[in-house]
Amino acid sequence: MPFRETESLLPSGSYYFSGNEAATEGALAAGCRYYAGYPITPSSEIMERIAVRLKELKGVFMQMEDEIASICSVIGAVWAGAKGMTATSGPGFSLMQEGIGYGAFTETPMVVVDIQRAGPCTGQATRVGSGDHQQAKWGSHGDYQVIALSPWSVQEMYDLTIDAFNLAEQYRVPVFLMGEESVGHLRERMDVRPKVTVFDRAKKKGTPPFGMVEEDGVPPMPCFGEGEKLLVTGSTHNDAGIRKTDDPLVHEKLVSRINNKVLNHREEIIQTESYYVDDATCLVVSYGFTARSALYAVNKLRGEGGRVGLLRLKTIWPFPDQVIRVLGKKAGKIYVPEMNRGQVAGEIMKYADCDVVPYFQTNGEIIDPRTIINQVRSLA
Amino acid sequence: MPFRETESLLPSGSYYFSGNEAATEGALAAGCRYYAGYPITPSSEIMERIAVRLKELKGVFMQMEDEIASICSVIGAVWAGAKGMTATSGPGFSLMQEGIGYGAFTETPMVVVDIQRAGPCTGQATRVGSGDHQQAKWGSHGDYQVIALSPWSVQEMYDLTIDAFNLAEQYRVPVFLMGEESVGHLRERMDVRPKVTVFDRAKKKGTPPFGMVEEDGVPPMPCFGEGEKLLVTGSTHNDAGIRKTDDPLVHEKLVSRINNKVLNHREEIIQTESYYVDDATCLVVSYGFTARSALYAVNKLRGEGGRVGLLRLKTIWPFPDQVIRVLGKKAGKIYVPEMNRGQVAGEIMKYADCDVVPYFQTNGEIIDPRTIINQVRSLA
Amino acid sequence: MGALKQVRLSGFGGQGVVLAGTILGHGAVKDGKWVAGSSSYGAQARGGSARADVVVSDRPIVFPHVIEANVLAAMAQTAYDKYTEQLARGATVIYDDELVRPRSIDGAIQIGVPATSTAIKLLNQQQSANIVILGAIAVITGIVSKGALSSAIEENVSERFKDLNIRALELGYKLGEADKQ
Amino acid sequence: MGALKQVRLSGFGGQGVVLAGTILGHGAVKDGKWVAGSSSYGAQARGGSARADVVVSDRPIVFPHVIEANVLAAMAQTAYDKYTEQLARGATVIYDDELVRPRSIDGAIQIGVPATSTAIKLLNQQQSANIVILGAIAVITGIVSKGALSSAIEENVSERFKDLNIRALELGYKLGEADKQ
Amino acid sequence: MARDLEQYLRSGITSTPFCPGCGHGILMNQILRAIDDLKLPMERMLFVSGIGCAAWIPSPHFNADTLHTLHGRAIAFATGAKMFNPALKVLVISGDGDLTSIGGNHLIHAARRDIALTVICANNMIYGMTGGQAASTTPVGALSATTMEGNTHRPFDLCKLVEGAGGSFVARYSVTQPLSLKEGIKKAIMIDHFTFIDVLSPCPTQYGRRNRYDSPAGMLKTLMESCVTLEEAERLSPESLEGKIITGEFRHGRA
Amino acid sequence: MARDLEQYLRSGITSTPFCPGCGHGILMNQILRAIDDLKLPMERMLFVSGIGCAAWIPSPHFNADTLHTLHGRAIAFATGAKMFNPALKVLVISGDGDLTSIGGNHLIHAARRDIALTVICANNMIYGMTGGQAASTTPVGALSATTMEGNTHRPFDLCKLVEGAGGSFVARYSVTQPLSLKEGIKKAIMIDHFTFIDVLSPCPTQYGRRNRYDSPAGMLKTLMESCVTLEEAERLSPESLEGKIITGEFRHGRA
Amino acid sequence: MAEPCELKIKRRSKDDPAKSRYQTEPGLDEEAAVEEAGRCLVNNVCRSCDLCRYFCPDLCITMNEMTGSIEIDYDYCKGCGICAFICPKGAITMVREE
Amino acid sequence: MAEPCELKIKRRSKDDPAKSRYQTEPGLDEEAAVEEAGRCLVNNVCRSCDLCRYFCPDLCITMNEMTGSIEIDYDYCKGCGICAFICPKGAITMVREE
């Protein structure tokens, strides 16, 4: 069984961590032993904490010369056997896009934490935004898939970072923890359980590391120094890793598989939560920090007798198309408050067979629950 | 009047150019006098030709150390008064994303030519792909807008490059010419007219270069050395350019305007062409080289009496939502053949109130017209 | 939401309100509460005004920010003026009586605490006023236990300032108890 | 589509079929035609097989690639074998008679031209066989005028090889005319 | 701010943006005095900076065209502006993290190409703005937010780096040598080649407090004690040069 | 390919991927012979390369773990692998455009940090794979696809650059000096620090044909004539060193 | 933590004797150094040697061109104390802001 | 354009006199150079000096360990001519591929 129960690194109990500290501990709990990064607000606390913690745990911490070097060095370490991570914010995430494409195409498990701030560009570096979700899917050229998770609390910065590592290893894919400044810097009670479930990389000597009979399969992954004489390349390659830069069949097969191995396993990957959706005539769809404003608002409105429900997306990519389709049809109206200009609302429009009403806010501040209350009232 | 008729640089007449050569000549005709780039297949011919031509025209050519430096140096030159351009392909386009965000947020007019090849990553460098369209919109972090054009012929590599410069100057926005290897390397007859219409950058001494009373306006753009003592920054700034990194109102206003100045002028920006759409019961939506396969196919099917029409998108961003809405409803079914995994089909799904049937092909080859014929036949 | 308390600590940069907020929050976690804390971050932190919000509850917390403070501590006049605009009904306002001149607020209980002057006089260290006022808050509101606060100080303050802060906490407790009487 | 001709030039890397295609296309533009040309690109260009396609029409061209060649020139056996599979009805196949052994093809006109041997014998330069065969194609198919081809050679060939290529074109014309008779 | 420099400051600018005792202010002071000495017209000057504390020296304070760019990319932006309009006098003023860590490649390539820019690196040996992480200039053993037990990686000798890349004029001064620094800046500005000055500038807030300097003046004092001029260095034994920073003009002909 | 090197080549590999006369083949030859001399176990070796002709020297040919990466980033990938598993012997083999133009920053930072990698730069002074554009190593005056009237920008002296960045072992050889090259590679591999070798390697296809070398042998001859060893250089006058390339081991202690 | 901005600078003509000061400008040649030093021969009294103006990180020290004396703009002084440290005459001391 | 691969290498024992050759290994110390040179004293005849093996860019030259003689794998030779150029004995010449 590739999943395994292991002792928690931290003594079980309650802690008062910031989201960034929680993500660091989640990574370590999941087995992360290589981190490379570059300072950037509001994610730097992750780097600062993991520098100390990896030393204690005999892992490797590297502060690199930039974000490009950071993600590349993580990929190098992962192929040398590490579970690896980097963390950054928007500008660094933009610089990492070529490396992310390499990770996706070489099926390198890795975790990238993006603590989002108010963009675009250097925008407002110490203020909150949630504007990198479409970039997470489309930031590198060509067609590939990733997994992106959206934590709403400090607890989830811990839990979903563990999930991120497990999904990365299980599907051999880059996984993004799309935190927001308002979660990264939030301090909350966070509970550590005595056991952590981790996924151990599947290995199988002598089997091709880049190909499967199944068109959506995930091949086992050997690593450097095991005598496998691996060929890893970001160019089109056959099952063994040999470059095939003008064979149409090899290219189609590889591109299909790296997309389908994620898309065809949507059901297993996607996590959502729903509240009061059964009789709702207006469905609020939300994620990240905003979902806390949204749940507060929905609770209030329900208290007033409003038939409003909430669907919270913990997984943003692959996109939860099916639940949107079903719940949208049931409610007849979807309201999407976002700290960006409708990035997830646009995605919902692809799948929902009903009115989709986006609310944009790009002012560097979180969305106040009272704003949502007022807007949903006016929709009814 | 900011538009102006000017003599063509090339003697009018017919040429036999490659698409890459045509884009080069289009840029020069539109007034491009600064180019910075880095070698990458299949776009390098643009850099090679423009190096020679800019010398003749007393412009400036720089081969930079990488694509990041290339786009940054273009922005520097544009603020020093140049019309500027760079050209690249997928991997370089990924590296340029942070600079593109800077260009969008500082409202820097510039043209980026992306000659797309079979990705992701280094994929098949000499073979065709069309997989960078979503990246063109979402490749940099945060919310911004760009304009992206999709040429289908050598003639359009010339014409749309001129349009690209004019749109860039008119809206102070990065404009992408999303060519494909199959158009960049195609040679065709290309006709040069005696006159070229160019847009001269709007200037107005002493007016704020980053703000307007109108919420979707384009401010005049001074340049360095004119005594305006400009403040240009990629951080949030007020109308005068002063950094305001914790003012919610300034951020909201700026982010809104850089989005709305493009989105609210969709009608003036968007170019599409339609064929046989009036009575079509199946609408093929296509763009770039694939639209030539599609038109060939639609012609054939019409010859057989098939009620099939074609909508060709010359503009990909801002997305032609309105025409999709109208024609989709009329036809009841949209078929979208693409050399990627449904990047534009996904966008169509947001707006079309009808069935959308994508066809993916990611094998490094163009889509054969006969494939489209067979698929559309099977849809009917 | 009777069991949920929204606490706001405010002052200007350098007074240590963020650290006080962290200690308060951490203490409440030690008491077994659900806690969420946030603070002003960025340019304001150096100079300007500073703010630390702590929400404490017996149950998991839905919205983690302060909407209307049940408890406000103000260590500067600007902070007092600004944040007394956003109080819950029946809120408790605790202010440093040397730095803040209170106005009358309908329905609020206001208590002046000589935190800064006590810190200067008895600790010879103006910097510990944050912990003095925290001690007073703890007594007055009962939001967190003394043991938990002490333990939180141990874990959040560097070795060389621990004793000082424990003494500051004691002083705060005394001031708070005096105020209660 | 009677006025549209699909021409495919093929051989192996180094024979200059891509240059020949460019000259043919450019010549046709000079004749006032609509033209689209494409060629194999990439690794194949060094060694391996090479291919240049030119579509010539009296009207704007919808699809610019060759679907079924009306004219095929083959300068290598592998190219001949591969591309004779994709001919239009009534196509003309012109092959280098020293390098290609033809098979019988239903409905096609096949003409062997001693391009390579002529180039070696009369120009002492095997490399110009591409232009020799191009001259022959021009005569046989009438797809492009001689003047336009000469002019296209002037513009597409470096100074030091111009004369050679013009002579090669003349030889090709002669061979083509001989074939026609 | 100083009345004698008022004309070089944008109207409405009243104070520096730096922490108390930050060396960047002293550098800002000398840059403006150098321009004042040279009587350069601010209309013809362009100041380019990246991201970080030092990038705020010119932007928005200087009363000239200023281009505040992306982290690490100031030199690339400056290259475009200078190449397109050579009449502009272009100064790049940014920090060590910006110019030599993430931006190191643009630095060495501009030096190689000999683009006529003056690059002034405000070197405080730390990432100040993001909270005091180690930089590529942090001394071995120094404490920072990412090297809590002391930095283990060697720092660059920036002057050697730029010389190695082909820089024509390369110099180093400390802000504790304001007059030499000012003269060095004047010289660099007037040379129509790529010129580079490494300016040692103490960061009391992020570097100082972690490394137990009790005041800005204390940091300044240590820096003064560490610096020896090239001329002095020639007279000193290798042992007495241990731990010293050599300042002065390391001029080299083109490679 | 050569039977005596067969064990170092991946099974199924029969020929080099290079144009006739490409110097990269001679370098490939020496790298394998160096490994053969040292009797290094291929199971413990990792070869990392970027994008470009030289990146194909190890990938897929060498019968070991090979990591063919992004353009310019080989050293960053290698850093991660080496730091996580120091038991790996890591060689970075890539071209001049890859390692020193787009990848220049990773090169200087790895040298600064003294990461224990051996970096072999196959320096053909041109972008071969993309069609012969000028590189940061192209000599002034040389013709290329982007410098049709002669290159105007100075090239790097890569050894000086890496020395300036702090590299401990820095050497240059030409492929026309195969025995010295092989010995240099052996030495570099066995030093447990950052080691760098600049290997001059002629590109007859892209560089040669534009710059009128009529044959691979002709290019090789010119290169031989240009190279002088460090020892010879010491005996020569500055005038007779004009236009010469100095080869040998430029060893320097840590800065 | 950064020093809080609670100190102000006072200018005065007499005070306790100057402590030993560091050579502030090692880059000056001998002649210039002697000249600079010559302006500050008397202890505790400002001799307008100008060093504080050059060293001020907040650009808030100006020399009054009429009187030749140093003027400090207290509004933008952040109290770092560098001027007091650098003054070769001990003519500047820091006092707690009242 | 790249040289087309139309030449093959022939090995022979006698031919026209060797032209002057370049010092192939300037990096060798004197002793080593004398030793290398000593192996190739007679013109036009391969003395197994091994230079061609080291210089072959296609790794297709092997020394037969039994006989000590040089063997060329013609299948992967691209005909660059470097071996012929470098051979100090003029023992390799290029001939047109038949």
User: Nearest-CA residue of chain F relative to A244?
Assistant: F60
CA distance B378 to F176: 64
Dist. CA H64–CA H69, nearest whole Å: 5
Residue C181 has pLDDT above 90, yes or no: no
Contact C/D (≥3 CB pairs under 8 Å): no
Residue keyed to tokens 């609670």: G6
What is the reported pLDDT for B202? 86
Q: Is residue G34 very low, low, confident or very high in pLDDT (cuts 50, 70, 90)?
A: very low
What does the pLDDT read at residue C121? 95
Are D108 and D87 a contacting pair, CB within 8 Å?
Answer: yes
Q: What is the CATH number of domain A271-379?
A: 3.40.50.920
| Cβ-Cβ contacts under 8 Å for E237 (sequence gap 6 or more) | none
Interchain CB distance below 8 Å, A248 and B364: yes
Q: Which of residues 197-236 of F touch H (CB under 8 A)?
A: 204-205, 209, 215-217, 220-221, 224-225, 227-229, 232
pLDDT at B59 over 50: yes
Query: Does the beta carbon of E157 lie under 8 angstroms from any beta carbon of chain F?
Result: yes
Q: Does A278 touch chain D (CB under 8 A)?
A: no
| Continuous segment of H or E residues that includes residue D6 | strand D4-12
pLDDT digits (tens, 9 = 90+) for A147-176: 999 999 999 999 999 999 999 999 999 999
D35, D38, D43 member nearest B16 (Cβ): D35
Interface test with B, best of E7, E46, E77, E130 (most B CBs within 10 A): E77
Report the residue from E154, E162, E166 with minimal CB separation from F255: E154
Lowest mean pLDDT among A80-94, B6-20, B202-216: B202-216
pLDDT score of C47? 54
Q: What is the ipTM of this complex?
A: 0.94
Rounded average pLDDT over E132-142: 95
Q: Which amino acid is at G44?
A: N
Beta bridge partners of B345: none
What are phi and psi for residue E151, nearest 5 degrees? -70, 135
Interface chains of chain F (3 or more CB pairs under 8 Å): A, B, E, H
Task: Give the minimum alpha-carbon distance from B120 to chain A in angstroms, rounded to a whole number.
Answer: 4
Chains touching chain D through at least 3 C-beta pairs below 8 angstroms are A, B, H
Q: Which residues are bridge partners to H95 per DSSP?
A: H8
pLDDT band, very low/low/confident/very high, at F2 (cuts 50, 70, 90): low
Look at residues B184, B113, B157, B130 and name the one whose alpha carbon lies nearest to residue B364.
B130
**Which fold is adopted by the domain A3-199?**
Rossmann fold (3.40.50)
CB-CB under 8 Å, E69 with B72: yes
Residue B335 has pLDDT above 50, yes or no: yes
Q: Looking at beta carbons, which residues of chain A come within 8 Å of B243?
A: none
Mean pLDDT value across chain F: 94
Residue in this structure with the two tokens 């009620």, named with its chain if needed:
B307
Q: Give the residue extent of every domain in chain F.
A: 3-252
**What's the CA angle centered on E159, arms E155 and E162, to 5 degrees?**
100
DSSP H helices, chain F, are 23-38, 74-84, 96, 104-113, 158-165, 178-190, 216-226, 230-235, 238-241
The answer, yes or no, to whether residue G96 has pLDDT greater than 70, is: no
Average model confidence (pLDDT) across chain E: 94
| G18 burial via Cβ count (<10 Å: 0-12, 13-18, 19+) | middle
Residue range A182-191, pLDDT digits in tens: 999 999 999 9
Superfamily of domain E3-252: Thiamin diphosphate (ThDP)-binding fold, Pyr/PP domains (3.40.50.970)
Residues whose CB is less than 8 angstroms from the CB of residue G5 and which lie 6 or more positions away in sequence, other chains included: C47, E20, G78, G79, G97
Percent of chain B at pLDDT > 90 equals: 97
The better pLDDT of the pair A59, A205 is held by: A59
pLDDT above 60: residue F253: no
- Give the model's pLDDT for residue H48: 81
The answer to whether G55 contacts E26, with C-beta atoms less than 8 Å apart, is yes
Q: Do chains D and H touch (3 or more CB pairs under 8 A)?
A: yes
Return the beta strands (E) in E73-180 as ranges: 89-95, 118-123, 169-174
Question: Which of A178-192, E98-112, F133-147, G84-98 is predicted least confidently?
Answer: G84-98
Nearest to A126 among C41, C62, C63 (CB): C41
Among the partner residues E105, E160, E165, nearest to F255 by beta-carbon distance: E160
Q: Do chains F and H touch (3 or more CB pairs under 8 A)?
A: yes
Do the Cβ atoms of F171 and F196 come closer than 8 Å?
Answer: yes
Instruction: For residue F63, list chain A residues with Cβ-Cβ distance below 8 A.
Output: 229
The verdict on D46 touching A (C-beta cutoff 8 Å) is: no
The Cα of C15 is separated from the nearest Cα of chain G by a number of Å equal to 10
Which of B126, B186, B299 is the closest to D64 by Cβ? B186
- H-facing residues of F in 156-185 (CB < 8 A) are 173, 175-182
Assess whether pLDDT exceeds 90 at residue F236.
Answer: yes
Q: What is the DSSP string of B328-360?
A: HHHHSEEEEEESSSSHHHHHHHHH-SSEEEEEE
Both structure tokens of B100: 């593109």
| DSSP per residue, chain H | -PPPS-EEEEE-S--SPPPP---S-TTS-HHHHHHHHHTT-STTS-----HHHHH-TT--EEE-TTT--EEE-TTT-----HHHHH-TT--EEEEE--
Candidates E10, E68, E85; nearest CB to B235:
E68
Local confidence band at A248 (pLDDT 50, 70, 90 cut-offs): very high
Q: Do E83 and B229 touch (CB under 8 A)?
A: no
- Look at strands A315-317 and A34-37 and give their pairing: unpaired
Residue C44 in this model has a pLDDT that exceeds 60: no
Q: Is there a contact between H1 and D47 if contact means CB atoms under 8 Å apart? A: no
What residue ranges in chain G does DSSP mark as E strands?
Answer: 7-11, 61-63, 70-72, 92-96
d(CA F118, CA A310): 57
Mean per-residue pLDDT for E197-207? 95
From residue E70, give the alpha-carbon distance in Å to each of A60, A90, B65, B100, G85.
Answer: 29, 12, 17, 11, 37
Task: Please indicate if any CB of chain E lies within 8 Å of the CB of F139.
Answer: no
* H28 pLDDT above the threshold of 50: no
Confidence of residue A44 (pLDDT cuts 50, 70, 90): very high
Q: Is it the case that chain G and chain F have 3 or more CB pairs lying under 8 Å apart? A: no
Does the pLDDT at position C131 exceed 80?
Answer: yes
C4-180 CATH pick, 3.40.50.720, 3.40.50.2300, 3.40.920.10, 1.10.3720.10 = 3.40.920.10
Q: Tell me which amino acid residue H14 is.
A: K
Give the CA angle between residues B247, B248, B253 to the nearest 5°: 105
Going by beta carbons, is chain C in contact with chain G, meaning 3 or more pairs sit under 8 Å apart? Answer: yes
CB-nearest partner of E1 from G28, G60, G63: G60
CA closest to B247 among chain C residues: C43
The pLDDT value recorded for residue E184 is 97
Give the torsion sign (CA, A185, A186, A189, A195).
negative
- Residues of chain E in contact with residue A39, where contact means CB-CB under 8 angstroms, are 97, 127, 130-131, 133, 146
- Is the Cβ of C47 closer than 8 Å to some Cβ of chain G? yes
Q: CB distance from B188 to chain D under 8 Å?
A: yes
A105, A234 contact by CB (below 8 A): yes
| pLDDT tens readout for residues H48-98 | 888 999 999 999 999 888 888 888 888 888 889 999 999 988 888 887 654
- Least confident window among A199-208, A228-237, B363-372, C110-119: A199-208
First vs last Cα of chain C: how many Å apart? 28
pLDDT reading at G4 higher than 80: no
Chain E: closest CA distance from residue A65 (Å):
5
Give the pLDDT confidence score for residue C13 in this predicted structure: 82
Flag whether pLDDT at H10 surpasses 70.
Answer: no
